[in-house]
Amino acid sequence: MDQALLLLGRALREAGYSFVTPTPETLRRVNARPGNHLARDLRGVFGWSRPFGENVLPAALLGLLEKAGALEHLEADGGGARCRSAVRFSSLEGQLFVHSAYPTTAANAVFFGPDTYRYASLLLRSIERAGRVADVGCGSGAGGIVLAPRVRKVVLSDINPLALRYARVNAALAQVEDRVEIVESDVLQGLDGPFDLVVSNPPYLADDRGRVYRDGGGPRGLDLSVRIAREALGRLSPGGRLLLYTASPIEDGRDPLRAALAPLLEGLAFSYAELDPDVFGEELEQAAYAAADRIAVIALEAVAR
């Protein structure tokens, strides 16, 4: 199944396929426009996650999608046989990355979106070279994979087996398998030895629907970010760095994530900055964010003693 996904990704690349994945709200709005209910091309199938008739895809691609276990058969509604891809492919830094199709409602869904692009951009402008690196909660593996050419070894770790499957395929698509190790781990508990660099783009929202890729833990979605910082700072080599891409609900001008991290950062050299002042505004309608003015994307960089 992994080989079929890999061959599918290569075939899409050879066909010139590319797709920049927007937010779920943008996907919902664009797909709701008249005429957008069915896919007519590769971008409709593998980018916009629209249902399609079997004749939309070449037989070879349809066969690979089925061998990968990612072809969903839907009930016909008078428009002929209907199918849907359970995976999407997104473009980033000249590579294609496989991940879960929209909508990502399953508990083990593997997300890819604007956060992924911002995270990768942060890594590439912050890290020129490193030794042994851990990408904690790697999801599709996009962050660690784009960083792989600049480091000696990157460990892609996640608690979600489906994320690790996609990360393995994506490393092969990007031809960086020799620099990548795939490990199932709850934060750093399943990883051995010290690291020169720990990077992470963890879930950071309060989510009550069991979706692992969204739920950052705790009433504000902050707990996982704090845990990653704590474990990483305890596992870094002297002078090693933590680079955390996450978010915090800003409440009456106060940042609760910064307050929660303060005891861990005492005495360390670090930077803490807002990368985007306002994301996922629709979440402010949830009870968990009743006191929040906005949700801000945060970059934390800290140097271990």
Cite the DSSP H helix spans in the chain: 2-14, 24-31, 42-46, 59-67, 114-126, 142-147, 161-173, 223-235, 256-265
Of 47, 75, 100, the one marking the end of a domain is: 100
Q: Is 109 among the domain residues?
A: no
Q: How many structural domains comprise the chain?
A: 2
Which comes out higher in pLDDT, residue 196 or 207? 196
Residues 184 and 157: their CA atoms lie apart, in Å, by: 5
Q: Is 106 among the domain residues?
A: no
Whole-number pLDDT of residue 302: 98
Residues 82 and 140 in one domain: no
Q: Is 74 among the domain residues?
A: yes
Buried b (16+ CB within 10 A) or exposed e, 252-267: eeebbbeebbeebbee
Residues 66 and 181 in one domain: no
CB contact at 8 A, 24 and 84? no
pLDDT higher than threshold 70 for residue 43? yes
Q: Over 14-32, what HEC string results? A: HCCCCCCCCCHHHHHHHHC
Range of the domain at 244: 114-303
Q: Is 108 among the domain residues?
A: no
Residues 19 and 121 in one domain: no
Whole-number pLDDT of residue 275: 96
> What tens digit of pLDDT does each residue of 222-264 get?
999 999 999 999 999 999 999 999 999 999 999 999 999 999 9
Residues 52 and 173 in one domain: no
Of 65, 100, 135, the one marking the end of a domain is: 100
The model's pTM is 0.94
Whole-number pLDDT of residue 260: 97
Residues 168 and 291 in one domain: yes
Q: Is 140 among the domain residues?
A: yes
pLDDT higher than threshold 70 for residue 79? no
Task: Look up the CATH number of the domain holding residue 129.
Answer: 3.40.50.150
Of 44, 72, 100, the one marking the end of a domain is: 100
pLDDT higher than threshold 70 for residue 49? yes
